[in-house]
């Protein structure tokens, strides 16, 4: 195919199809009986963020073991940067990769990373602080989580991008639910044991073991998802759409051209996602766990703030099921407006005396979570729907790459925005 013809064909392939054209010649989509599909995607969303939430929510345990170390900031940089390179490779070699292999490998790596903490505690640390060699191993485990995240999150979001909007909303509601679940687990396990060194150690170990069990459940859920009638229905539509593509296949140069066209389609939504997570990660969890303090709540304060953020992030990610903003430009504008959180959180340390109390910090943390949840879900739902169904998975993975860039920027900025 000549270069000009190839570009014209690529552009034509990326024109949004007429409403309902994807289902042309198909019977109506099957009913998701008992909400099985929604539950599976919700569980998968909870699964791919659970290990990250597990590590950052156990801040009291790691702060005891490694006093003086900027635990959360190190974890953030390690996790986010190790996620970016695999995501970029997946996007570039996407036509030659297997989503099933990526996701199953990632779930196995997640499980292994969660095993590191209880195994190291049982065999080496045994509750002894200042063993900084173990800290290096723990950081390596968070890096392993980052690689696993790239494999699982890119695959799951790409998978959901081929299905109706409610399944993408289910994925992101699951990501938020994992934060709430982990926070609740942390509070319950911490409250179940004596408030001493032994109790802290035992609660953290129990906490990671429960996380491992949940990862096994996620693995089972993913491997039965293809058997759902609603998934099979949309996969059949995707196959037919791919067969109709010019040339019946795609050379390397054609794929690169198509990929850039997809990026062009979703770039503003992607920029919105970058801004959302750059702002969020530069404030949460580093500012929440290290910069603000409470004489009344002591080491419960960061746990309570993380819990508030996670609850409102869940609320924000559930709201699109009630009302989905259909204009991506409005959502992108909202992502720019979130830059106002910087001066507001700065005021919580250096502003008027009332602004420096627990209530304003909690309210702002809750709003940070609410806006993060709602705007993320809206943009991630709309972006894959702006291209034909056979490119929806790629668009979803490209959006995850934008998300990873935002996370990496935010985690790096958190090192410098020490206020």
pLDDT at 21: 43
**Is 87 a domain residue?**
yes
Mean pLDDT of 249-271: 83
User: Rounded to whole angstroms, how far apart are CA atoms 98 and 94?
Assistant: 8
**Is 233 a domain residue?**
no
pLDDT at 168: 95
pLDDT at 16: 52
Closest listed residue to residue 393, CA positions, set 54, 102, 52: 102
- Strand extents, DSSP E, 321-376: none
Half-sphere exposure of 205 (CA within 13 A, CB side): 16
How crowded is residue 363: how many other Cβ atoms within 10 Å of its Cβ? 14
Average the pLDDT over each of 32-36, 181-185, 360-364 and give the range with the smallest value. 181-185
With a cut of 70, say whether residue 228 has pLDDT above it.
Answer: yes
**Is 26 a domain residue?**
no
The pTM of this model reads 0.81
pLDDT at 244: 63
With a cut of 90, say whether residue 216 has pLDDT above it.
Answer: yes
How crowded is residue 50: how many other Cβ atoms within 10 Å of its Cβ? 27
With a cut of 50, say whether residue 8 has pLDDT above it.
Answer: no
Phi, psi of 351 (to 5 degrees): -90, -160
* Residue with more model confidence, 3 or 211: 211
Average the pLDDT over each of 33-37, 68-72, 228-232, 248-252 and give the range with the smallest value. 248-252
Q: What percent of the chain is predicted at pLDDT more than 70?
A: 86
**Is 6 a domain residue?**
no
pLDDT at 198: 77
User: Residue 320 belongs to what domain range?
Assistant: 35-227+250-416
Q: Tokens for 350?
A: 């250096």
> Across all residues in the chain, what is the average pLDDT?
83
* Model confidence band, residue 12 (pLDDT cutoffs 50, 70, 90): very low
C-alpha dist (Å) from residue 244 to 8, 219, 238, 385, 390: 16, 33, 10, 18, 10
Q: Residue 273 maps to which CATH number?
A: 1.20.1250.20
User: Rounded to whole angstroms, how far apart are CA atoms 138 and 310?
Assistant: 23
**Is 27 a domain residue?**
no
Q: What is the pLDDT of residues 36-84, one digit of tens each?
A: 999 999 999 998 888 888 887 777 788 888 888 888 778 878 888 898 8
Instruction: State how far Cα 352 lies from the chain centre.
Output: 35
* Model confidence band, residue 218 (pLDDT cutoffs 50, 70, 90): very high
For tokens 């054609």, what's the residue?
254
**Is 22 a domain residue?**
no
With a cut of 90, say whether residue 132 has pLDDT above it.
Answer: no
Q: What is the pLDDT of residues 285-309, one digit of tens each?
A: 766 666 666 666 776 777 788 888 8
pLDDT at 85: 87
**Is 117 a domain residue?**
yes
Domains contained in the chain, number: 1
* Residue with more model confidence, 129 or 273: 273
Q: Tokens for 155?
A: 């695959």
pLDDT at 295: 66
pLDDT at 339: 95
**Is 307 a domain residue?**
yes
User: Rounded to whole angstroms, how far apart are CA atoms 280 and 372?
Assistant: 7
User: Rounded to whole angstroms, how far apart are CA atoms 304 and 293?
Assistant: 12
* Residue with more model confidence, 84 or 203: 84
Phi, psi of 323 (to 5 degrees): -140, 115
Closest listed residue to residue 16, CA positions, set 270, 261, 248: 261
* Residue with more model confidence, 191 or 86: 86
Mean pLDDT of 321-333: 94
């Amino acid at each position: 195919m000549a270069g000009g013809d190839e570009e014209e064909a690529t552009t034509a392939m990326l024109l949004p199809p007429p409403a309902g054209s994807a289902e042309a010649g198909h019977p109506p989509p099957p009913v998701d009986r008992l909400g099985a599909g929604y539950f599976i995607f919700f569980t998968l969303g909870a699964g791919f963020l659970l290990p990250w939430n597990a590590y950052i929510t156990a801040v009291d345990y790691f702060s005891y073991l490694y006093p003086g170390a900027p635990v959360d900031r190190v974890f953030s940089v390690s996790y986010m940067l190790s996620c970016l390179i695999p995501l970029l490779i997946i996007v570039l070699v996407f036509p030659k990769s297997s989503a099933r292999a990526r996701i199953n490998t990632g779930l196995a790596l997640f499980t292994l990373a969660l095993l590191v903490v209880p195994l190291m505690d049982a065999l080496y640390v045994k509750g002894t602080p200042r063993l900084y060699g173990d800290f290096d191993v723990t950081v390596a485990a968070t890096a392993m989580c980052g690689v696993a995240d790239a494999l699982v999150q890119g695959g799951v979001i790409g998978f959901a991008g081929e299905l109706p909007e409610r399944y993408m909303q289910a994925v992101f509601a699951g990501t938020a639910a994992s934060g709430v679940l982990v926070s609740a687990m942390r509070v319950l396990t911490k409250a179940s044991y004596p408030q001493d060194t032994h109790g802290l150690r035992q609660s953290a170990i129990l906490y990671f073991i429960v996380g491992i069990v949940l990862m096994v459940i996620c693995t089972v859920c993913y491997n039965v998802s293809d058997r759902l009638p609603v998934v099979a229905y949309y996969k059949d539509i995707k196959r037919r759409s791919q067969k109709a593509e010019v040339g019946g296949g795609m050379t390397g140069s054609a794929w690169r051209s198509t990929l850039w066209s997809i990026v062009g389609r979703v770039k503003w939504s992607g920029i919105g996602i970058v801004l959302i997570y750059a702002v969020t990660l530069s404030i949460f969890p580093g500012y929440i766990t290290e910069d603000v303090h409470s004489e009344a709540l002591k080491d419960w304060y960061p746990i309570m703030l993380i819990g508030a953020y996670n609850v409102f992030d869940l609320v924000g990610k559930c709201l699109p099921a009630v009302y989905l903003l259909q204009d991506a430009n409005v959502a992108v504008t909202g992502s720019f407006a979130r830059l106002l959180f910087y001066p507001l959180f700065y005021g919580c340390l250096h502003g008027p005396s009332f602004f420096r109390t627990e209530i304003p910090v909690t309210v702002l943390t809750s709003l940070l979570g609410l806006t993060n949840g709602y705007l993320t879900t809206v943009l991630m739902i709309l972006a894959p729907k702006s291209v034909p169904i056979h490119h929806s998975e790629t668009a979803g993975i490209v959006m995850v790459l934008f998300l990873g860039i935002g996370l990496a920027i935010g985690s790096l900025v958190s090192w410098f925005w020490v206020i």
